[in-house]
Amino acid sequence: MKAPTPEFQLAFLTKIQRLFAEGDFTATYKFALLVSIADYAVQYGEDNDEELKIPTRSIGAKFIELYWQQSAPYKDGVLVQNLGAQAAVVAKVAAFRNSGQSLTQALQSRQLVTAVTATVVTQPIKYMQNLGGSNDAFLYVKGEGFILLLPGVAYCLRRFQPLIQQLSRAHWIDHIKTNKQNQSWVKKDSDLESFLFKTSRPSLEIVQAGLRKISNRCFYCNGLVSNADVDHFIPRTLYPRDLAHNFVLTDPKCNRSKSDTLAAKQHLFKWLEFIHANSDNLNQIGFEAGILADADSSNSVAKWGYNNANAGGAKAWIKAATVCAKTLFLAKK
């Protein structure tokens, strides 16, 4: 199958722009839905114009993951994500979280996933494509227990995923800031983005301690580390979602040098071996830190990231020098 034409891709981006400009956003659900389907396309789609079926339960589970951190108290209470009463998904996730259970347990709870999925189906999935007062089904059609991404949509979601994530998160933050129910908590200098979307410092400390038990050496230079950093192997700017298998322990110097660049081939192969050999330990680290641990998802994201980098002629980081990225097939282990 061929890739969508440049004209189709441009039209798709125009529709995405219209969605943010003309969509009716009474809650943050539509931002979460757009992020969810883009993530699913990265994990399970291909670089062609084929349709892609997404089970609605998979979207429900993704909503639980997205709202898990946001269901924790922010200053004096949980941030309100609806212009009226608290969003139902946030309330359900917060209740489960307050019972003392983990994100892993939440995603394994059939009752919670079913309840969240029901809300997602009757609200954002139903109304997502309402633009300017009419329905424009440019992303998907709804089936029984699934949505079907239309031809070319999965390709565009994969190609423009970083942009879609950035736009969705920016509008998500703005929606929360402008909600009058949050304004006594959210100040202009509040680091709201970090709270909503980034791994908390206590969780990162748990990740660092867990990685030290596996090895006390820098993943990249193999030197012993005392003041270690935790690095996203696939850079967060490329894929702004935290997965336990994507974290590695690094020397601060290597971390600063690598920055937001993909690591070179030798580091990639080492990482594939690392997550295969230490999958159980990484699953446990994710459980303790409240971060999703999914080796297959991490592998799929890496394949997508490196193939995109190769197609764009990007550079890969070794140490101080760079080399051109090669085409790499990342077989799942």
Could you read off the pLDDT of 197-247 as tens digits, one per residue?
A: 988 888 999 999 999 999 999 999 999 998 899 999 999 988 988 999 999
Assess whether 221 and 159 both reside in one domain.
no
Given a cut of 60, whether residue 328 has pLDDT beyond it is no
Mean pLDDT value across the chain: 91
* Phi, psi for residue 231 in degrees, rounded to 5: -110, 145
Assess whether 29 and 151 both reside in one domain.
yes
Q: Given 168, 189, 210, which residue is the final one in a domain?
A: 189
- Provide the 3-class DSSP secondary structure of residue 150: coil
Assess whether 223 and 287 both reside in one domain.
yes
Assess whether 289 and 246 both reside in one domain.
yes
Assess whether 158 and 228 both reside in one domain.
no
Number of domain units in the chain:
2
Beta carbons of 287 and 141 less than 8 angstroms apart? no
Model's pTM, two decimal places? 0.88
* Phi, psi for residue 131 in degrees, rounded to 5: -125, 130
Number of neighbours of residue 177 by Cβ within 10 angstroms = 15
Assess whether 180 and 207 both reside in one domain.
no
Given a cut of 60, whether residue 56 has pLDDT beyond it is yes
Inside any domain, residue 1: no
Inside any domain, residue 265: yes
Of the candidates 125, 126, 151, 119, the residue with the CA atom closest to the CA atom of residue 138: 151
Inside any domain, residue 332: no
Report residue 76's pLDDT band, with 50, 70 and 90 as the boundaries. Answer: confident
Q: Which domain holds residue 27?
A: 6-189
Inside any domain, residue 329: no
